[in-house]
Amino acid sequence: MLFSTPEFIYFFLPLSVLAWWSLQRVGRSNEAQWLIVFCSIFFYGWWNVHYVLLMIGNALVNFYLGRYIFETSSRRCLVAGLIYNIGLLAYFKYVDFFIDNWNFIANTQFQALRLVLPLGISFFSFQVIAYLVDCYAGRVNDFSLRRFAFSISFYPHLIAGPILHYSDVMPQLQGRVIFCTRQFSQGLLLFVIGLFKKGFIADRLSEMVDPLFVTQELLRFFESWISAIGYGLQIYFDFSGYSDMAIGIGLMFGIILPHNFNSPYKSNSVAEFWKRWHITLSRFLRDYLYISLGGNRSGFARGALAAAVTMIIGGLWHGASWTFVLWGLLHGLFICVYRVWVRLGGRMNDVLAITFTFISVTAAWVIFRADSIERAISMWKGMLGLNGFAVPYAMSGVCPSCSQTALFTGFELVQGGILLVVCFSYANAYDTVQRIEPCLRNVGYFVLLLFASLWLSGSHESFIYWQF
């Protein structure tokens, strides 16, 4: 069940919110929490009922293991727990990748398992890994199964984050959750902004971008740039839309989920980009991987290496494919280059730095989206002008001697330009709703955005991050 589908918007969301507050109102907080756990299981089972038991079993194993680790401070149990969770993730997500590569290297013919990847397993696994480590470090002081189950399964973040720490949600559940009209209003507005970003912008961009990435035609200069920037915008609005919706739904329940997206295209370095894009993933990678690898404490070279390795693992987390590994490697290299630049005392004008960062991130999106490394290389060549130039039909009057492309109309340049202006200059939705006032104009915005999202949306595409 996608957040942007009618079954969710018209039925599941209003009914679950209504049930939650009805129970809270009569002082049945515990029952309300169990009800949301049940709703979240239903939400998960809507996609594939067979994996519901896996999710429940996995949550129970990790809860009791965490408690045991806390009580015994057993390093062995922690290691076993980490191996179990990473092993589960590896089994479902990476086993075919491993088999394919092994077959290629050793010239063997092992059959791939072709398992269906349990939805959200990458997010779920990282959350429970963080939980076990926090239990071991003594940072957890609440072992209520109900609150743990609520925190781990709460449906707004279940499939694609934000990736929660124990301390993000469980403490909020200890007392009765009080209905706050301001918070609820903020949640409504944030949800609708996210819905608009997803349905009206990202899904429409996908209709334009997808054919460019699957065409067998050699993409030339403008076509390649339109594909790369178009995908950069699609994933931006898709993921920020998802994050806004998730946090907005949380607020409708009176639960504050961590900020996950903070205008990343305004970053003036790739290092800063990762402090703004998928913030909770970056936080996890920093706290549980980068610092474990030595972080900044072991000198410049070691720190740069740790950053590069962290980014490669971050890339692989997105998907079991060499394209994701290379995407992570590219980001790792960008961060290393940036660190060297800073160490050498390099300075750059802010506008130039933001432009440079945007171009680097856009170039990297090519391999993130492309079906193969060869395809990505071909598109990079196109972006450098090595595949030639062609103008769309609408611009053929400007350059009558240029060859013509039928892959885009030229109108996409205007659309892309408008969206880039939005990305670079507008305050993000999260900050905007912090400042809303209860005025008619804001009700008008709410209605307008909802109208556009429901009445003018593109086809309901799955969220890009749901596949990870």
Partner 1 sequence: MKALSIGSFNSFWRAALITGGIIAWSLPVWNIVVNPYQVFDTRLSIGDRYSSSTTNERFLKVDHLIKSRKSANANPDALIVGSSIMGLVDTSSVNRYFPDRHFYNLAFLAAKPDEILTTLQELKKAGVIIRTVVYGLEPIAFTDTKVYGPAYRLYPGASERSLARYFFDLLFVSSLSDGIGRLVSVISGKISVRYDIEGTGQYHLERYEMEIGIDHDAFISKQFPVDAKPAKAPPWVESRFNDFQELVRWLESEGVDARFYLNPLHPYVARAYGAERLAYFKQKIAIISGHNDLKDCTNVLSDAGDINRRFYDYKHFRPSESALVMACAFNPH
Footprint on this chain of partner 1 (rule: CB under 8 A): 6-7, 9-10, 181-182, 184-185, 188-189, 192, 199, 207, 210-211, 215-217, 393, 396, 404-407, 437-443, 446-447, 450-451, 454-459
DSSP code, position 286: I
Tell me the one-letter amino acid at 21.
W
Is 318 a residue of the active site?
Answer: yes
- Which has the closest alpha carbon to 364: 383, 349, 346? 383
Question: Minimum CB separation from partner 1 for residue 419, in Å?
Answer: 18
Smallest separation (angstroms) from partner 1 to the CB of 60:
32
Burial class (CB in 10 A: 0-12, 13-18, 19+), 38: middle
Q: In the 8-state DSSP scheme, what is residue 260?
A: -
The CA dihedral of 362, 364, 368, 373, to the nearest 10 degrees, is: 130
Q: Report, in Å, the least distance between residue 439 CB and partner 1.
A: 4
The residue among 171 and 211 lying less far from partner 1, judged by its C-beta, is 211
**Options 157, 278, 318, 331, the catalytic residue:** 318
In the complex with partner 1, the residue whose CB is nearer, 15 or 113, is: 15
**Cβ-proximal residues to 457 (8 Å cutoff; 6+ apart), any chain:** 4, 198, 199, 200, 203, 204
- How far apart (Å, rounded) are the C-alpha atoms in residues 282 and 401? 49
- Report, in Å, the least distance between residue 98 CB and partner 1: 29
Neighbouring CB atoms inside 10 A of 426's CB total 12
Q: State the nearest-atom distance from the C-beta of 253 to partner 1, in Å.
A: 14
Nearest residue to 449 via CA among 464, 436, 462: 436
Residue 341 or 451 with smaller CB distance to partner 1: 451
Measured at the CA of 28, the angle between CA 171 and CA 52, to 5 degrees, comes to: 70
Kindly tell me which of 350 and 437 has the beta carbon lying closer to partner 1. Answer: 437
Closest CA to 55 of 68, 39, 69, 44: 44
| DSSP 8-state assignment for residue 12 | I
Least distance from C-beta 230 to partner 1, angstroms? 14
Residue closer to partner 1 (CB basis): 346 or 400: 400
Of 210 and 272, which has the nearer Cβ to partner 1?
210
Which is nearer to partner 1, 147 or 198 (by Cβ)?
Answer: 198
Q: How far apart are CA 86 and CA 288, in angstroms?
A: 13
Going from the C-alpha of 193 to that of each of 280, 451, 458, the distances in angstroms are 20, 11, 15
CB nearer to partner 1: pick between 5 and 296: 5
Smallest separation, CB 291 to partner 1 (Å): 41
DSSP 125-184: HHHHHHHHHHHHTT------HHHHHHHHH-HHHHTT-PPPPHHHHGGGGSSPPPP-HHHH
| 57 half-sphere exposure, CB direction, 13 A CA radius | 8
CA distance 125 to 155: 15
Q: How far is the CB of 422 from partner 1 (least distance, A)?
A: 21
Are the C-beta atoms of 37 and 82 separated by less than 8 Å? Answer: no
**Least gap, CB of 468 to partner 1 (angstroms):** 24
Q: How far apart are CA 268 and CA 334, in angstroms?
A: 12
Please, where are the H alpha helices in 154-269?
155-158, 166-169, 181-195, 203-214, 221-252
Collapsed DSSP state (helix, strand, coil) of residue 362: helix
- Given the complex with partner 1, which of 111 and 459 has the nearer CB atom? 459
Decide: 300 and 273 in contact? Cβ < 8 Å. no
User: What φ, ψ does residue 278 adopt, rounded to 5°?
Assistant: 45, 60
State the Cα–Cα distance between residues 192 and 449, nearest whole angstrom.
Answer: 6
Active site members: 318
